[in-house]
């Protein structure tokens, strides 16, 4: 696993199953069994994904009697957002020609 937190988070987010698990946890805490239900994989395979997410600080696991819920932790996602926001001027700039072209087409369509 990468040594810095941002790299760990990005590595964890790189797998679609882990992103789907995070999306599910955004709706609330869930057990490993509940998280493994939509996937065609074993509970141990889901547990491996959970270990990666936990290692990146994206989830926490606790014990509440018989229930062992997993919960989403948002802090690492905020760090990813902060990092990607540095590039917002570039993707906004790249869309300017498209915006200009779309405005031209709209004017042409109404003329």
Check pLDDT > 90 for residue 71.
yes
C-alpha 89/C-alpha 51 separation (Å) is 35
Angle at 37 between CA 44 and CA 32, to 5 degrees: 45
CATH classification at residue 95: 1.10.10.10
Residue 36 token pair = 């493994």
Check pLDDT > 80 for residue 98.
no
pLDDT of residue 1: 55
Number of domain units in the chain: 1
| 87 backbone φψ class: left, alpha, beta (φ>0; ψ -120 to 50) | alpha
pLDDT of residue 104: 80
pLDDT tier at 58 (50, 70, 90 boundaries)?
A: very high
* Single pTM value for the model: 0.77
Check pLDDT > 80 for residue 90.
no
Which residues constitute the domain of residue 87? 5-110
Check pLDDT > 70 for residue 94.
no
């Amino acid at each position: 696993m990468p040594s810095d937190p941002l790299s760990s988070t990005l590595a964890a987010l790189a797998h679609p199953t882990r992103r789907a698990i995070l999306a599910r946890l955004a709706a609330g805490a869930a057990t490993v069994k509940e998280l493994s239900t939509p996937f065609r994989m074993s509970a141990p395979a889901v547990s491996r994904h959970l270990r990666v997410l936990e290692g990146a600080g994206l989830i926490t696991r606790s014990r509440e009697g018989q229930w062992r819920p997993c919960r989403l932790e948002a802090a690492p996602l905020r760090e990813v957002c902060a990092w990607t926001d540095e590039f917002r001027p570039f993707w906004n700039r790249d869309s300017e020609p498209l915006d200009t072209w779309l405005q031209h087409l709209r004017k042409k369509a109404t003329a």
